[in-house]
Amino acid sequence: MMERTGASVQRLSRGEFDRGRILGQVDFTIPPGIRYEDLREKIKVPSVELLLEVLSDLPAHDAHSYEQEGHLPSSFAPKLKREFAQVRWEKWTARQIEARHQGMSYLFPLQTDLLAPSQGTFSPVRIYLHGITVLPAQAGPRALLTGDVEPGSAMYHPEEKGVVIRCGGGGPGEELLLVRELQAESKKRLSAREWIVGYRDRAGENGLLRLGSRDGS
């Protein structure tokens, strides 16, 4: 995970993208667990102050400008798409899911489908996930930790007041995801305790809900 970020004021470069000399720069430590919109607010004021400082005496900053060091080939970041928010329970660790929530939930909340149990015939329900954190495996319910439980299996955990979900991969402390608020498509956002009341009948014979993708992707 990234631990530092920053802001730069730089000159334009002729014939090359993002290779201009640095006129001023400030860096920041990324606090653990911070979400994108909160990080944006944290760095906004220092970034504006840096720009004003450079513009207040541009000739002096230009005279002391310097080349970028350790420059990697520039690339364009891909646009965020809604499909990036579809959770891949069998592929992603809880830590990876939490990071994706922190980075893009301001635009697209993470989503999954509540599937029918193997013996049931319910239609899939699109669910949006909010209030996401990693839950150490030792703090989770034992029913989710047995070897035959598949990623995407979920249950309500009263002690944590949230829905706990088994994820794929990861080591100790990264197996489970805790979700404290959920929202069914076209419904209002609810606490996990309120949400489970309407969907506990979707659990299979093992008492677990099944989350995944309705198209199997």
Q: Which CATH number fits domain 82-212: 3.40.630.30, 3.40.50.620, 3.10.25.10, 3.40.309.10?
A: 3.10.25.10
Q: What is the pLDDT of residue 32?
A: 85
Instruction: Of 130, 206, 188, 121, give the one whose Cα is nearest residue 198.
Output: 188
Distances from the Cα of 142 to the Cα of 1, 76, 136, 139, 187, angstroms: 29, 44, 12, 9, 31
The rounded percent of the chain whose pLDDT value lies above 90 is 65
Whether residue 211 has pLDDT greater than 80: yes
Whether residue 70 has pLDDT greater than 80: no
Say which range, 3-17, 35-49, 181-195, has the weakest mean pLDDT. 3-17
Residue 152 near residue 118 (C-beta atoms within 8 A): no
Q: Which residues contact 106 (CB under 8 A, 6 or more apart)?
A: 35, 36, 37
Whether residue 2 has pLDDT greater than 90: no
Distance CA 153, CA 162 (A): 14
Q: What is the pLDDT of residue 147?
A: 78
Q: Write the pLDDT tens digit of every residue in 23-66.
A: 999 999 998 888 888 999 999 999 999 999 999 999 999 999 99
> 3-class SS at 184?
strand
Q: What is the pLDDT of residue 110?
A: 98
To the question of pTM greater than 0.95 for the whole model, the response is no
Outline which parts of the chain fall under CATH 3.10.25.10.
82-212
Q: What is the pLDDT of residue 1?
A: 65
Q: Which residues contact 188 (CB under 8 A, 6 or more apart)?
A: none
Q: What is the pLDDT of residue 200?
A: 92
Q: What is the pLDDT of residue 155?
A: 96
